[in-house]
Amino acid sequence: MAPPAPSSRPRRRPYPRTLGDRLGPDAAHVYKAAGWTGFGSLMAIPVVVYHMPPGIPAVLALPLAVGLCWALMFSVAYLLIRPGVGVARFYLAPTGASTPYEDQFSLEEALVMQERLPEALALYEARIAADPADARARVRAAELYAGPAGDPRRAAELLRDVQRIPGLPSGQELYVGNRLADLYLGPLATPARALVELRRLLDRYPDSRLAPQLRAAIAKLKAEHVPDPRAEPVSGSGI
């Protein structure tokens, strides 16, 4: 069997690495420092001409002085440019690496938009089972259960679970407590538990911006659902 004919396609020559390739990410800093200091080093020419010792030819002294001046200025400029560019990039073009990522529950929300509530709730329940401290997943699931899913009892369970998570931020605790009170007053029809929940929030955050609203809600609940002990019992004997 005859050997295969050699390919007529020309061989690719290896890519010649440039100075920028060898310098890597620092190439831009080096180019900037070289450009700025190259022009600045020319200012050494009149200084050398004025102070040049006799007997030294200008052809030798001038290039040497300009070269030394450029090397000194380049070193200083490079050391100043490199950290300065990094600081500027941090503020002007942040990468987000210093900001903790928060899950947006994109898949679950997409299923909700498609009215596929059982699938969305199944994903939320899987998240809840996998992470006992995931407050955001519990709150999202509770909102679904309290709303379109029509299961306020499960919603209340999840919100109470959130309250037991250590280190819960105050804003989240106030939100969860208010949502629990809404469930107790609404579909769960237990105003006494709503009153207890609102009192608990007021005791924990008496100086918060929601404190006046909590006091007003407590007063209204007491007026509507707590009997006045001074009221006289109605006689059952009739007239």
Tell whether 150 and 59 lie within a shared domain. no
Tell whether 179 and 144 lie within a shared domain. yes
Percent helix, strand and coil across the chain, each to the nearest 5: 65, 0, 35
Tell whether 76 and 147 lie within a shared domain. no
pLDDT of residue 9: 58
Range name among 21-35, 54-68, 84-98, 203-217 with the lowest pLDDT average:
84-98
For the cut 60, the answer to whether the pLDDT of residue 133 exceeds it is: yes
Does the model's pTM come out above 0.75? no
Kindly state the average pLDDT of the residues 152-163: 96
Q: What rounded mean pLDDT belongs to the chain?
A: 76
Tell whether 68 and 171 lie within a shared domain. no
- Residue numbers of the domain that contains 30: 23-92
Tell whether 142 and 192 lie within a shared domain. yes
Q: Does residue 159 form part of some domain?
A: yes
pLDDT of residue 88: 46
Choose between 156 and 23: higher pLDDT: 156
Distance CA 82, CA 195 (A): 61
pLDDT of residue 204: 92
Distance CA 184, CA 197 (A): 9
Tell whether 210 and 139 lie within a shared domain. yes
Tell whether 121 and 205 lie within a shared domain. yes
For the cut 50, the answer to whether the pLDDT of residue 238 exceeds it is: no
Predicted confidence (pLDDT) per residue in 37-57, tens digit: 666 666 666 666 666 666 666
Structural domain count, the chain = 2
Contact between residue 144 and residue 120 where contact means Cβ atoms under 8 Å apart: yes
For the cut 50, the answer to whether the pLDDT of residue 236 exceeds it is: no
Predicted confidence (pLDDT) per residue in 175-209, tens digit: 999 999 999 999 999 999 999 999 999 999 999 89
pLDDT of residue 34: 64
Tell whether 218 and 167 lie within a shared domain. yes
From 44, 66, 92, give the residue that closes a domain: 92
Contact between residue 70 and residue 41 where contact means Cβ atoms under 8 Å apart: yes
Q: Does residue 14 form part of some domain?
A: no
pLDDT of residue 230: 53
